[in-house]
Structure 1
C-alpha cells in the first residue's frame, strides 16, 4: 500500500474518460465544427474542413470494406507524412481495421517481418522517397508479383498480403504493375455507403485499432497493440495539457508512424476541433519555419534536435513566429538552454514536455503550459489524468520513498492491450496489478514531479529513434564472417547517441568496416547501422562470463575523446 511519502501518484479523475470509438468521436466533432479547417498539407497543397475530411475518410472506409476486409483485419501504412496517412488513420478506425504503422526507414528484412508477424492483408505505401525504393523492396521480396495481373496478390514470402496500393497524384506518374493506385482505391468508395453505419455498430472502444512496432531487447520488434480507448483518450489529455482550442493550428513535422505524430499530433488536434498542419513529408527545418509563418501556426512539435535545427537555420531571423504559443518537446531530454531559446526566440512560452512509451499510448507524464521553467526542463511533469505511476525497487518490486531512484511503472487506461500474439512478453511487461514496467529509471519529488534519470541498460536513443542493440547484434550474427558481436550506444552531440559495434571475426577470416556496412545496407534501417565498428579478439567480461558492456562504452568514449558533459 502506497503512502504519502511513497513514490506514487494518481492523476485527476476529471474530465471523464471518452468511451466512444475514434470514428464516433470524430463524427461528433464534425457536427460541432463542420466548416472549421481540419487539415492542411503544405507539400501536397491540400486543405480540408472537418466536413470535407469526413467525406474523404468515409469514402476510403467504404473502399477498404469493398476489398473484403473485415473488422480486426490488419492494414499497413508504409509512408512519411501526407494526406493519405491521416485518411488511413481515421478510415481504418471507422470500420474496425487495425492500422499497422511501418517505419519508412525499414528495409527488406524488417518489412517482411512486420507484415508477416501481424498478418497484414493490405498495404498502402509510398512508391519511393529520396533513395528509398519501397516498390522495389516489395518486388525483391515477392518477385512473382511481376507476372501477376491486377487483383489479389499471392506471394510465398508474404503469404498474408493480398493488396498493395501506392500513393500517387491522381492521373499522374508511372504505373507499377500488380499494384493499384491509392487514388483509384479512394475513387472506388462511397461516402454514403450504408455498410459504414452497420459496421460501426459492431465496434467497441476496447477493440484493437493500432499496431506499433517497438524495439525488443531480443530479436525483431514487438507489436504493441493499442485500442480506440488507449490512443483517443491519450490524445485528448495531451491536448488538454497544451490547452488546445478550436483556434489552434498545430504544425506537425514529427513522423506519423510514431505515436508522437499520430497521437500527440493528430489525435490531440482532432479531439479539440483544431487544425493539423503538415509542413512536409519528412522533417526539413526551412519548410517548418515557412509553414509556421504562412499558416499562422499556434503550436509546434519536435524532438530537441529538430528545434535546434530550426533555431540554428541561417534564415531563422527572416520568419515571423509570433503566432506560436505551445507545442511539445519530447523524444529525448531537453537541454535547458534549448528550452530557453525555444521560449524566447520562437515565442513558445507555453511549450510542454511529455514522457511515455509506445506501450502506454504513449504519454504517462506531461508538464503543462504553466509549469515553472525549472520543472519543465528538469522533470517530465506530473502524471496524466486517470493514470497512476509509481517508482519501485527493480529487485523487490516495493514502492520506493520520494526522491529514491527506481523503475517507473504506469497503470490505467493508456496501458496497451499487449504485444501482438505474444502473451509471454506481455506478462513480462505488464504485471498482475496492471502496471506497465517501463524499464526507465526515475525519481519523484515531493510535489509529484517525475524525473527520468536513466533507462534500461541496453536501449539507445539515436535522434529520437529507440534502438535496442540486441536487434542489431542478432542481425550481424547472420554475417558469415562474424563470430560474436556486441553493440552499445556512444554519446553524440548531434544525435544524442551513435551505435558502436565490437566484432570478433571467425578464425582464419578477415573483415573490414565497409564489409559490415555493405551487409547492413538495404536490409536494416539506416539509423541502426553502427557508425563505429571495431574488430577485437575478445570482450571485457566478469569472472562468471557476463559481458560488461559499460566497459566497451567507456573504452570508446576514451578512444574518441568524447566529453560526457557535452552530451548530457
Structure 2
C-alpha cells in the first residue's frame, strides 16, 4: 500500500553492524575534539566486547557506564549490547551515595569509567567513595576506558589486551542470540521516591521508535547530521543517537554544553536536525553573538519543549526550520508523542504533539482511573512497544505504575484536544490544591514566563494553614534584566485567578538550580522551603 511504513525491529548490535557494513568510513559520532567512523566504532566495540567476555561477563549481566559524551561512551554502549549484556548508564552528576546505590541495586558485575582531563569530576575518586566496603558485592571489574590505571581501576590497555583470548566468532554468535525483547539498557530516573528507579528498556523499546522516526519522519536528503545537546546517559539524547545510527547518520555532541562550541560544530558539520530540548539550551544558542540563522541553512528540523512564547521566538528566528514539540519520559524510552508535519505554527507553540504510531494513550481521572472526555485535564496513560518492562528489582513500584491491562501510569497531566493533540499540564505531584481548587504548577510557570524579565520559572506549593497550600515561585531572571518580587506578583494579579498568584518569589542564579539529570529538581526546591532557605 502506498504510503505505508514498514515496521522493522532490531537489536542495538545489529543497528551498528548494518551501518558499519553500508557506510564504514562515515563518521558516526563527532565532538569538537574527536570523531569516530562506523567501521572504527564497530571494530573498537568488538574489541571491548571480547575483553568483557574474557572477564566472564555473560549475556544478561549488567555493566555500568560512567563516562561523559565521548567516543569511549559509544564504544562501551555497543560493546555491551553486542554480547547481550545490559548497559546501565550512570548520571555523571550523581554524587557518591547515589552512584553507590545504583551500582549496588543494578547488581552491576563490571564498571566502565574514565580518567580524563575533560571529565567534569574525578570519577575514580568519586567511585572509590561510592564503592567502599561491601557496597557492591556483585561488582568484579572496574575498568578505565581512558586514562591511567591504578590498583583499583584497570587500565584500558590491560583490559583490551585480554580480548585476544576470545575468538572473533564468539561476538557473532552472541550477537545473533540477542532477542529484540531482551533488556538492552537500564536507565535510573529520579522521582518522588527516596532512591532512583531503574527503567528496564528492551532492544525493541530503545531502537524501534527512534529508528522509525529517523527513517521516515525526520529523514534528510542525503546524510543525516543530528545534534544532541544533552548527556548520552539521558534518554533525551540517547534515543536520537540510536535513531541516527539506525540510518547511518552522523551524531554531533559535546562533553558539555557551551553555545559557541555547539554553534561552530553545527555549522561546520552541516547539521540537519537538532535536539536542544530544553529552554535553557535554546536560549543559550539564540542569545549568543555567533547565532546566525543563515549559517544554519541545512537545519531542517528542531525539537524543543518550552513555553509558547519561546517556541514562537524560535519559529521566527528559524523560519525555514520545522520546530517540533513532543512528549516523552524515560519509562517510554523517549518520545511517545510528537507534532505532525502539517501542524500549524500555533499548534506547534501551544501543543505537544500526537501519539506516535504504534503507541496508545488515554487521559484518565488520576483518582478513579476513569477515562475523561477530550478537553479535560487528567493523567496520561501510555501503552506500546516503547514502554519499559519494569522497574529493576522493584516489583511493588512496578505494580503501582501499571494498570492490570498493561497501561503505564505516567504521573503526568495532559489535556487531549479533539484532533488528538496533547497539551502538557505538569506532573500530578506538581498539582497544587489551593483552598480546594486544583492548580497546575505549569500554568503559573507559563504565565510568569510572559514577563520579559523572566527566563525560568518553577512553582511549588507551600503549606498554608487556611488553604492547605499556596503557590510560590522560584525565578531566574534573563541576563541584563531586573524585576522585583512585587513587580512579578503585580504582573499576575488580575490576569490569572487570585488563588493562582504566587504568594512569594525567590530569585535563583543559573548555577544555583538544583538539578536531576537535565531537569530542575522540585523536590529540592520544596526542601529549601521547609528549611527556610528559599
Q: Which TM bucket (shorter chain)?
A: 0.7 to 0.9
Report if aligned partners of 2:100, 2:135 keep a CA contact under 8 Å in 1. Answer: yes
Cα shift at 1:498: 7.9
Residue 29 of structure 2, aligned match among 39, 54, 65: 39
* Residues 242 and 368, structure 1, Cα contact 8 Å, conserved in 2: no
- The yes-or-no answer on 1:437 pairing with 2:427 is no
Match of 1:457, SS? helix
Q: Deviations over 1:352-387 (max 9, x none)?
A: 212111111121101144422111121111110111
CA contact (8 A) 1:325 1:347 kept: no
Q: Do the aligned partners of 1:96 and 1:203 also contact (CA within 8 Å) in 2?
A: yes
Whole-angstrom distance in 2 between the partners of 1:555 and 1:95: 49
> For 1:234 and 1:285, how far apart are their aligned partners in 2?
29
Which of these residues, 110, 114, 118, is aligned with residue 106 of structure 2?
A: 118
Asked if structure 2 preserves the Cα contact closer than 8 Å seen for 1:242 and 1:352, the reply is: no
1:309-353 CA-to-partner distances (Å, cap 9, x unmatched) read 0111133249822221113224xxx13343233334346612321
8 Å CA contact 2:186–2:201 kept in 1: the answer is yes
Matches within 5 A, 1:55-454: 55-127=43-115, 132-142=121-131, 155-168=133-146, 174-182=148-156, 184-186=158-160, 188-189=162-163, 193-239=168-214, 240-244=216-220, 246-263=222-239, 265-278=240-253, 280-302=254-276, 303-317=278-292, 320-330=295-305, 334-346=306-318, 349-454=321-426
Deviation, 1:451, is 0.9
CA spacing shift, 1:252–1:425, aligned 2, 3 Å: same
Aligned: 1:15 with 2:11:
no
8 Å contact from structure 1 (residues 242, 369) kept in 2: no
Please tell me whether the aligned partners of residues 14 and 385 of structure 1 are also in contact (alpha carbons under 8 angstroms).
Answer: no
What CA distance in whole angstroms lies between the structure 2 residues aligned with 1:246 and 1:435?
A: 38
1:411 partner SS: strand
**Helix, strand or coil at the partner of 1:157:** coil
Match of 1:540 among 464, 474, 477: 464
- Give deviations 1:448-479, integer Å, cap 9, x for gaps: 1111122222499xxxxxxxxxxxxxxxxxxx
* Gap regions ≥5 residues in structure 2: 433-447, 476-483, 496-500, 503-534
CA distance in 2, matches of 1:499, 1:110: 24
TM-score normalised by length of structure 1: 0.74
Change (3 A) 1:554 1:252: closer
How far 1:95 sits from its partner (Å)?
0.9
RMSD over equivalenced CA pairs, Å? 3.2
Higher relative contact order (CA 8 A, sep 6+): 1
Aligned length: 463
Aligned partner of 2:39 in structure 1 is: 51
Gapped runs of 5+ residues in structure 1? 1-12, 144-154, 461-490, 503-538
**What CA deviation, in whole Å up to 9, does each residue of 1:24-55 have, x standing for no partner?**
23323333333433222323x2231x233222
TM-score, length-scaled by structure 2? 0.79
